[in-house]
A and B are shown apart, each in its own frame.
Chain A
Amino acid sequence: MPRRRLHRGGEQSAKHAVFLNIPYDPQFTELFLAYMVGIKAYGLIPRATLEIPGGARRLDRIAALIRSCTYSIHDLSRVELDPAPPQTPRFNMPFELGLAVAFHWRQNTKHTWFVLETERWRIQKSLSDLNGTDVYIHGGTPEGVFRELTTAFVRVTRQPTVKQMQTLYEKVTSALPKLLVAAGTDDPFQARVFKDISVYAGALADELAV
């Protein structure tokens, strides 16, 4: 029996893809899951640099991944210095935001980007080039992320409620240990776990989100 065709090639998947630009650290696990659940509740597909293996052409692949997505979410909450010596700030997230903004200009608004932060006004100090841009403030909580996503994705066809997203979030959180065991890791920021969370949250959203 021929395999069922689920979508019209890359064009259809790009239309639903969201590039997720977040810090990969244990303190960010809750918000990472909240973003994953939120994106899936909207019927969209999360993409992240987690999927990209290391190598000389990593930057090319990151750029191609961002360019292939219709939306991108950039969480600039982590502006603190990395505690591991030598203490350094993290430039990956603002750098990838810069790439997304460049693609937005080049592709004539086919790429839409959103910036999220924990604290109001802080970005005016950390990245003042964005003054005048709407920054979504989630306050560092999953509920805050869901609330801000409802504002950001106002034009997406599927419109889940914050309560629906919270319900999905609870289920994904309780399934996470199983997904970690299956991947043989305790780190949720692994490609395999990222993909499993996407599919699992997608299945829940298919069944529960209006």
Chain B
Amino acid sequence: MPQQIIRAPFAGAERTAEVLGVSRKRTRELILLAKQAIEADPELRTLRVERINAKKKTASRRRAKR
């Protein structure tokens, strides 16, 4: 069975914080702020759903190819 790569939800933001030397506490606060901004905006929620669906579609295509 091929190895599955599981990506952390905010891996990009956490990697950025690590490179720039932002504390873990501040990183969590900023991620929370971003989550709140998305939750408060219906357009952003739709965008997030579109992104998740696009990823699912790609994953199912990959599985079908195997």
Q: How extensive is the interface on chain A, given as a class?
A: 20 to 34
A residues 177-208 near B (Cβ < 8 Å) are: 178, 195-196, 198-200, 202-208
A154 CB-CB contact with B under 8 Å? no
- CA–CA, A178 and B21, complex, Å: 20
CA distance A195 to B27 in the complex (A): 10
Tell me whether B56 is interfacial, beta carbon within 8 Å.
Answer: no
Contact A208 B16 (CB under 8 A): no
Which residues on B are within 8 Å of A, measured CB to CB?
A: 8-22, 26-27, 30-31, 33-35, 37-38, 41, 43-44, 47-48, 50-51, 54
Question: Among A13, A164, A203, which residue has its beta carbon within 8 angstroms of that of B34?
Answer: A203
Contacts of A199 in B (CB 8 A): 13, 16-17, 20, 22, 26-27, 30-31
Among A6, A13, A17, A195, point to the contact of B11 (Cβ < 8 A). Answer: A6
Question: When the two chains form their complex, are residues B15 and A7 in contact, meaning their CB atoms are under 8 A apart?
Answer: yes
A binding-site residues for B, Cβ under 8 Å: 4, 6-7, 13, 16-17, 40, 43, 45, 47, 51, 164, 167, 171, 174-175, 178, 195-196, 198-200, 202-210
